[in-house]
Amino acid sequence: MKATNQLTNNQTNSSLSHQDFVIKGLHCASCVYTTEKALKKIPGVTDAVVNLASGKATIISGKNIKESKIKEAVRDAGYFAEFNKEKKEKSKENKILVVKTWFSIAVAFLIMFVIRDVYFQFILATIVQFWAGWGFYVSTVPALKKLQANMDTLVSFGTTIAWGYSLVMIIIDPAVMSYFETSAAIIAFMLLGRLLEDRVKNNASKAIKNLIGLQAKTARVIRGKKEMDILIGEVEVGDVIRVRPGEKIPVDGVIIEGESSVDESMVTGESMPVDKKTDDFVIGATINKQGSFLMRAEKIGRDTMLSHIIKLVEDAQASKAPIQRLADVISSYFVPTVIVLAALTFFGWLVFSPVGFTQSMLNAIAVLIIACPCAMGLATPTAIMVGTGKGAEIGVLIKDAASLELAHKIKTVVFDKTGTLTKGKPEVTDIIVIGSESKFL
């Protein structure tokens, strides 16, 4: 909780503005590097951090930057910024990705093993290329305009070459073997990878969802002489709230009438309930165990302790370890290097090998596709999300990724509590019988 208090104080004392939003279309460390570079060029922005695993971005500035300017900068980089993204919209996008993925897999299978008519192959492969694979072009074109490249550039180059070559071949001579299945299969596997990638991201962010789930959904407020249940978001500072036994305390506040014992284990880690009386402070999302009491709401929404804990975990997940920054820089040069190597592969096989144009082209495509650096950029942020998330689940709050990276060097840990460490779950260790054992049995 010291880390939480420190974060709260830092946010209160700082004059800098932090703006969080979601970026769509990030798939590799090169994407992150390009986007951060674009955001830092916005006048007034002092720093920008983009997290590949969560897709979230944070910009720090002297004053709030207009959302339109942020969206424009991100769009020019080839991606899309979204504020207050709705869950329904995200769910819809996931469903579309699933449809595109399985359609592409089916088409690749049919072209490889079932369909022999090259014109029918062309129709199906074209749908995959420019419908299922359209996202690759959306990301590639803006990057090329700025003489930059990312993972989508490799995919779009490789699949377009295979599709375009096959189209030329069926125009010249339909009897010649085409490679429509190559472009369809590559897009199918890339989309399948992104589907699995989304699943990993969702699993990694479960800790945040679990923390949010701790919050009460409603509060029983007394306004005038009426007692009513309202949504937690409608509670105002100063509202008088009744909390009954077994209920979650809705927000942070002070008891004004009554007394009880409160389970604060989700905040303090203490397994035993804490006695509370008039004028004592109670924390939102903790559980009232026994008595009923009235409390006055003091902190609501983002000001509650639970919200600060959630913010701390989110900031830790979004932060970058030093090694991740190195991977981002390497990836920014990696993609252009791969394109050069693919070109050298093509001309090398074409000039110094008897395999001919077609095989040289396929070898170049293989270099483009196999070299996609998505794993290099995704591994570190995903590990950070999982690590900080697991820590939050067991009550360990990790301030940032740099702290997590340095944790393996810890030699000595000093605990400033009571000196007794427990699991937080009482267990029976001994049974002592008072009096005669036979009588007890």
Write the pLDDT tens digit of every residue in 276-331.
999 999 999 999 998 899 999 999 988 898 888 888 877 777 777 776 666 666 76
The tokens describing 77, both together, are: 């980089």
CATH of the domain at 223: 2.70.150.10
The answer, yes or no, to whether residue 3 has pLDDT greater than 80, is no
* Inside any domain, residue 230: yes
| 36-40, 199-203, 347-351: segment of lowest average pLDDT | 199-203
* Inside any domain, residue 309: no
Cβ atoms 283, 249 nearer than 8 A: yes
* Inside any domain, residue 373: no
* Inside any domain, residue 245: yes
Task: Determine the pLDDT at residue 299.
Answer: 93
* Inside any domain, residue 59: no
The answer, yes or no, to whether residue 11 has pLDDT greater than 70, is no
* Inside any domain, residue 252: yes
* Inside any domain, residue 274: yes
Label residue 273 left, alpha or beta by phi (over 0 means left) and psi (-120 to 50 means alpha). Answer: beta
Task: Determine the pLDDT at residue 399.
Answer: 76
* Percent of the chain as helix, strand, coil, to the nearest 5: 55, 15, 30
Q: What is the mean pLDDT of residues 385-389?
A: 77
Provide the pLDDT confidence category of residue 366 given band limits of 50, 70 and 90. Answer: confident
The DSSP 8-state label assigned to residue 397 in this structure reads P
Number of domains in the chain: 1
Structural domain harbouring 261: 219-299
- Catalytic residue (choose from 229, 279, 416, 430): 416
275 catalytic? Reply is no
* Inside any domain, residue 266: yes
407/344: higher pLDDT: 344
Q: What is the mean pLDDT of residues 47-51?
A: 86
User: To the nearest whole number, what is the mean pLDDT of the chain?
Assistant: 81
Sheet holding 281-282, edge to edge: 226-231, 218-223, 240-243, 293-299, 252-258, 281-282
The tokens describing 281, both together, are: 């402070």
Q: Look-up: residue for tokens 């309930």?
A: 273
Provide the pLDDT confidence category of residue 439 given band limits of 50, 70 and 90. Answer: low
Helix 67-76 crosses helix 29-40 at what angle (to 10 degrees)?
130
